[in-house]
Amino acid sequence: MDGAAGKLGGMELSDLVKQARGGRVVTSGFLDPEEQETLRILAARAGVSLTWFGGLPAAERRLGVLYPPEVPQVDDPTWTGWLESADPEKSAAALRRTLDPSELGDVRLLPDGVIFAARSAARKRLRAAGLEAGDPPEKTRPRARSKTRTLVVPSLRVDVVGAKGLGVSRSYFAKGVKAGKVRLRGRAAGAKDEVREGDTLMAEGLGQVTLVRIIGRTTRGNYKVELLAEK
């Protein structure tokens, strides 16, 4: 979208930002990575805070909660649901037919059912459609693994930051970049791309790492950064 306003269910993303700038706490629907980048840019330009929620660990589709800077924190509006099924693919298709894309986040198929992220209000709609979705059983409940660390990196290149944040070798991460399996700002990352503050790298099969902030430079010219890794 390249910084354009973007639309969400007939509403401009810029309208959500205007509401937040006016003092309200507003929530977008679930957005794809490119739409997330558009909203991030708009929120930064307007000086409003933005927090992402995906419902599932290392979620690709996430919704954003926008709020004025004076609000200290916001609640997670997502719900993680479970559909037990002998045919997970069929159940996932029914799920996508029933809910609007803005209501539905990531959908993951397991051998005996489907686990998914949705807006909290979606539970009633699913029940009305005959889909008895509930909370995930303990054995299928995803375990979020996130860790914030302060690290020193020689550069802000995608392969350097991604490898450091996710604990893999730089050469291994670079192969993923070359194969188009790493996304930055909603698009496939390039080998020479650099990560900026607030950016999230999404690496297929590994997780995601966010450059929370650049703390400063060392005497040798390296970067001291704060990274949030989610797997």
**Secondary structure percentages of the chain, helix, strand, coil, to 5:** 25, 35, 40
Cα separations (Å) of 80 from 14, 65, 117, 132?
A: 28, 17, 5, 13
pLDDT at 2 over 60: no
Rounded to an integer, the average pLDDT of 29-47 is 93
pLDDT at 5 over 50: no
Rounded to an integer, the average pLDDT of 16-22 is 96
Distance CA 167, CA 173 (A): 10
pLDDT at 144 over 70: no
Rounded to an integer, the average pLDDT of 135-142 is 83
Confidence of residue 164 (pLDDT cuts 50, 70, 90): very high
Q: Is 170 exposed, middle or buried (0-12, 13-18, 19+ CB in 10 A)?
A: middle
In this structure, the strands spanning 207-217 and 62-67 are unpaired
Confidence of residue 148 (pLDDT cuts 50, 70, 90): very high
224 by DSSP, 3-state: which? strand
Strand partners, 208: 202, 230
Confidence of residue 231 (pLDDT cuts 50, 70, 90): confident
pLDDT at 143 over 90: no
Distance CA 140, CA 200 (A): 26
Q: Percent of the chain scored above 70 by pLDDT? A: 94
pLDDT at 10 over 50: no
Q: Is 22 exposed, middle or buried (0-12, 13-18, 19+ CB in 10 A)?
A: exposed
Distance CA 38, CA 41 (A): 5
pLDDT at 142 over 80: no
Contact criterion met (CB below 8 Å) for 186 and 33: yes
17, containing H or E segment: helix 13-21
For the ranges 135-139, 162-166, 170-174, 195-199, the lowest mean pLDDT is seen at 135-139
As given in the structure block, the two tokens for residue 94 are 């029914």
Rounded to an integer, the average pLDDT of 90-116 is 96
Confidence of residue 8 (pLDDT cuts 50, 70, 90): low
Distance CA 172, CA 162 (A): 10
Reported pTM: 0.76
Rounded to an integer, the average pLDDT of 69-88 is 94
